[in-house]
Amino acid sequence: MIAEKIAKKEAKMALIGLGYVGLPIALEFARKAKVVGFDINQARVDMMRKNIDPSNELEAKDFEGCDIHFSADLNDLKDVNFFIVAVPTPIDQHNLPDLKPLLSASKTVGKVLKKGDYVVFESTVYPGCTEEDCVPVLEQESGLKFGVDFKVGYSPERINPGDKEHTLAKIVKVVSGSDKESAAEIAKVYGMVITAGIHQASSIKVAEAAKIIENTQRDVNIALMNELSLIFSKMNINTYEVLEAAGTKWNFLKFSPGLVGGHCIGVDPYYLTYKAEELGIHAKIITSGRAINDAMGAHLARLAVKKMVANGKDLSKARVLIMGTTFKENVTDTRNSKVADVVNELKSFAVNLEVHDPHADAHEILEEYGYDLVPEITGKYDAIIVAVNHREYVGLGDDFFGKHFTNRGVLVDVKGIYRNKITVADYISF
């Protein structure tokens, strides 16, 4: 059986896509099995061969003791028997699923697929995508018959970038297969590295659906908090103080307002609403939540502008600083960062704008979003927006902000980390 052969290193595994998800999985398996780490980006492959994680999530020591060969050469996949596909599933400019990376990866695997091989997809997709979209590509490229010549499974990724506690091995792994035999074998393979336990879903569609509602649930709940913050701001009530009071009840769900970006929470719900529309269902709660969350960046910028105007500032001469531009704290990942919405809205008011982030790559930001990062925070500002609560920012107080504010400066604190701590500026938070 395939699991036994992998454990004995009589069969090889391959990870297709070595980003935030794929590389940690590849290295975890490579401590127990022979692994090919495959990525189409040769520059990234060269970095990983030197024990460097291009995503800056892993350290050099994480590569040690791993039986892995990094490659961008298709020929290195020809003797692989168990493929795990972990490529991004983004949305396009119309918020529609963009399956091009996933289908391209399926073509790559299909070119080297052999009888008896397994293919497991980890990319977040709508229910049905694996069997309806990916399998036909595998069949077409390989000339093999699904279910007869090769098996397919789905095991949703649950990696949380920047989280050093909930690592791959410590998170219960959901697995599924195209039949009972494949599901059992796939469970055994993942059981080699997962210590938290395996949950075997009844079908591939169930596993796909489970993944997509994990992030949809968070998105909807955060949208509720954001909507509450809009209401409470009109009442001159601090939302975080309300949440603290409500949170004293044992069954209160502890979500907070904020910018919802990143590759998962800000994207995955659109895969579900897309499929729902195909079925004639308008997912009102999900789409409403998305609309609220997508609008928060512009709202945040307008909060700062309104307060500056109220304080008598000339917007054409005003200096504004944004602190943080990654999609969440303490990571380098800027994918689908909603701070870009804050930047664009502020630019529409023609203010003099600077953006700082100790973790983001300035080249990536310029290339993806069209604005520069300042290497240091200098001078004085009429408004400072702390958009991301990086560890470098959390401990700051009046000593820091006092040096960088003009008279009647405005501090917009998205995550409420400076509440009741700042006296040198007009303080605003959600």
Both structure tokens of 281: 């269902």
- 426: tokens are 């007009």
The sheet carrying 381-386 orders its strands as: 352-356, 319-323, 381-386, 405-413, 426-429
CA dist 281 and 153 (Å) reads 27
Q: Is 264 a catalytic residue?
A: yes
Are 207 and 176 in contact by the 8 Å Cβ rule? The answer is: yes
3-state secondary structure of 370: coil
Choose, from 66, 129, 134, 264, the residue flagged as catalytic: 264
For 247, the token pair is 């949170």
H-helix or E-strand containing 28?
A: helix 22-30
Cα-Cα end-to-end distance for the chain: 55
* Distance from C-alpha of 3 to C-alpha of 6, rounded to nearest angstrom: 5
Helix (H, G, I), strand (E, B) or coil at 51: coil
Give the E-state strand segments of 113-237 in sequence order. Answer: 118-121, 151-154, 173-177, 198-200
DSSP 8-state assignment for residue 264? T
Are the C-beta atoms of residues 426 and 310 closer than 8 Å to each other? no
Q: In whole angstroms, what is the distance from residue 46 CA to residue 54 CA?
A: 10
- Which residues are annotated as catalytic? 264
